[in-house]
């Protein structure tokens, strides 16, 4: 089944992931978003969490505000990463749809409670799930 984008636009996505362990998952997700039939475009991703960084929350909040949805890439330790948990809390506070995606090769990782729908990383599953993210951007969305 081919999933068409809504209104010919790609959803603007913030990607949250375990910065120290799961950058390969992030890179694959970014590259998939560049495909012509992808239903998303990554506008921002997690940055390394430093508990001393007073700007982490405000920067993440700004980035998530610019997105239509949050994608959490679930690696083996993502459920306990303080930066990811803060980003998820921000997404919830901003009423953003959150999708927890289990990448290929990640096994059966722990999910984050109350952090949105869980989707196994299969090209059609991910395209379909993200295509359902509500668009609030109109002309600011990325046109295909």
* Rounded mean pLDDT, 58-74: 95
Q: What is the mean pLDDT of residues 10-32?
A: 91
Give the mean model confidence (pLDDT) for residues 108-112: 88
Q: Which helix (H) or strand (E) holds 40?
A: strand 40-45
When computed from its CA atoms, the radius of gyration of the chain, rounded to whole angstroms, is 14
Looking at residue 18, what is its pLDDT? 93
The CATH number assigned to the domain with range 9-136 reads 3.40.50.450
Q: Looking at residue 7, what is its pLDDT? A: 56
Structure tokens at 142: 């990325």
């Amino acid at each position: 089944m081919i999933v068409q984008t809504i209104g010919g636009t790609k959803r603007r996505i913030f990607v949250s992931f375990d910065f120290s362990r799961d950058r390969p998952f992030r890179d694959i997700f970014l590259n998939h978003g560049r495909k012509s039939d992808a239903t998303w475009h990554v506008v921002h991703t997690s940055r390394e969490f430093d508990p001393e960084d007073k700007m982490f929350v405000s920067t993440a909040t700004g980035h998530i505000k610019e997105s239509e949805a949050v994608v959490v890439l679930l690696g083996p330790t993502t459920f306990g990463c303080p930066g990811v948990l803060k980003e998820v809390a921000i997404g919830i506070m901003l009423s953003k749809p959150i999708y927890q995606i289990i990448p290929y090769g990640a096994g059966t990782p722990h999910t984050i409670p109350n952090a949105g729908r869980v989707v196994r990383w299969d090209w059609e599953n991910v395209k379909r799930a993200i295509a359902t993210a509500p668009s609030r951007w109109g002309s600011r969305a990325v046109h295909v």
